[in-house]
């Protein structure tokens, strides 16, 4: 019996390796492809969605926009055409959650600095304070890569509506000149302008999840 096993030991090892390879291939074929959810207004807490959209269950996309970045350049949806991007809302004088959020955006920028499919977009919620010059100063202090990340200012009503009606990211505050959209949400947007994820921009674990989800999103056709 021992002689038999010794004689066929090599063949047994080969068969074992082949079996492992075949099982692995079958598993990969049968394993369901991971796909991110496409978020609609009806999927999100009503406090984060404008009342006119709370029951919308399909076809929601980010509205067209026209804002000015830290270099005085007009930024529109065309600059993000066929791109995956991460959006957030901040202001340069914020001393609470914004510094943490910006540091996390810097981390995302560094992780994806060589990835041309992914961009970043940060909207100031105090455009009356955050002029182009102020945004440029902030961008330089934080190490913002102008080719990767736009900090944008513009009409306050437009920014407010983007937060409430497009990105579904800010709690309901009746609009006024003194209104302040203050949200920790990072929003992941796909190449078709659809929302694919929400993440707490102050939570390091959520940022890791965001980075992982970007890779999943990139695998979509």
Q: What is the pLDDT along the chain (221 residues), one digit of tens a residue?
A: 545 445 555 555 555 556 566 655 554 555 567 889 999 999 998 888 888 888 899 999 999 999 999 999 999 999 999 999 999 999 999 999 999 999 999 999 999 999 999 999 999 999 999 999 999 999 999 999 999 999 999 999 999 999 999 999 887 665 556 666 778 999 999 999 999 999 999 999 999 999 999 999 999 86
Residue 31 covered by a domain: no
Three-state DSSP at 188 gives: strand
Does residue 147 form part of some domain? yes
Going through 22-127 in order, the beta strands assigned E by DSSP cover 66-68, 74-76, 84-90, 118-124
Separation of alpha carbons 59 and 78, rounded Å: 19
Number of CB atoms found within 10 A of residue 17's CB: 10
Question: 143 in a domain, yes or no?
Answer: yes
pLDDT at 47: 83
Alpha-carbon distances, residue 55 vs 50, 185, 190 (angstroms): 10, 21, 22
Residue 160 lies in a domain: yes
Q: Is 104 annotated as a binding residue?
A: no
Q: What tokens does 73 get? A: 């350049």
What's the confidence (pLDDT) of residue 88? 97
5 is a domain residue: no
CATH number, domain with residue 65: 3.40.30.10
Domain membership flag for residue 70: yes
**What per-residue confidence (pLDDT) applies to 22?**
61
Four-point Cα dihedral 209, 210, 216, 221, nearest 10: 160
Per the listing, tokens 């390796």 go with: 17
Distances (CA, A) of 169 to 1, 181, 182, 197: 71, 9, 9, 11
Q: Is residue 144 part of a domain?
A: yes
The dihedral through the CA atoms of 218, 40, 59, 176 has a sign that is negative
Residues in the chain: 221
> Based on the structure, what is the number of domains in the chain?
1
Q: Can you give the pLDDT at residue 220?
A: 85
pLDDT of residue 21: 64
Q: Which residue in this structure is represented by tokens 């929302």?
A: 195
pLDDT value at residue 181 = 74
60 a known binding residue? Answer: no
**pLDDT number for residue 130:** 97
94 annotated as a binding-site residue = yes
The range of the structural domain enclosing residue 169 comes to 41-218
119 in a domain, yes or no?
yes
């Amino acid at each position: 019996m021992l002689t038999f096993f010794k004689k066929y030991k090599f063949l047994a090892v080969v068969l074992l390796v082949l079996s492992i390879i075949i099982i692995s291939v079958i598993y990969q074929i049968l394993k369901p492809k991971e796909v991110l959810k496409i978020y609609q207004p009806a999927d999100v807490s009503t406090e984060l969605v404008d009342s006119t959209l709370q029951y919308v269950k399909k076809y929601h996309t980010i509205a067209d926009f026209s804002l000015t970045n830290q270099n005085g350049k007009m930024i529109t949806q065309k600059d993000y055409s066929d791109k995956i991007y991460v959006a957030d809302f901040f202001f340069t004088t914020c001393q609470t959650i914004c510094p943490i959020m910006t540091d996390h955006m810097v981390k995302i920028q560094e992780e994806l600095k060589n990835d041309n499919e992914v961009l970043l977009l940060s909207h100031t919620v105090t455009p009356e304070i955050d002029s182009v010059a102020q945004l440029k100063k902030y961008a330089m202090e934080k190490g913002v890569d102008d080719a990767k990340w736009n900090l944008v200012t513009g009409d306050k009503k437009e920014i407010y509506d983007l937060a409430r009606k497009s990105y579904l990211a800010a709690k309901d505050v009746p609009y006024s000149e003194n209104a302040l959209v203050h949200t920790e949400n990072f929003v992941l947007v796909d190449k078709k302008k659809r929302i694919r994820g929400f993440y707490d921009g102050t939570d390091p674990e959520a940022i890791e999840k965001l980075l992982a989800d970007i890779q999943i999103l990139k695998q979509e056709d």
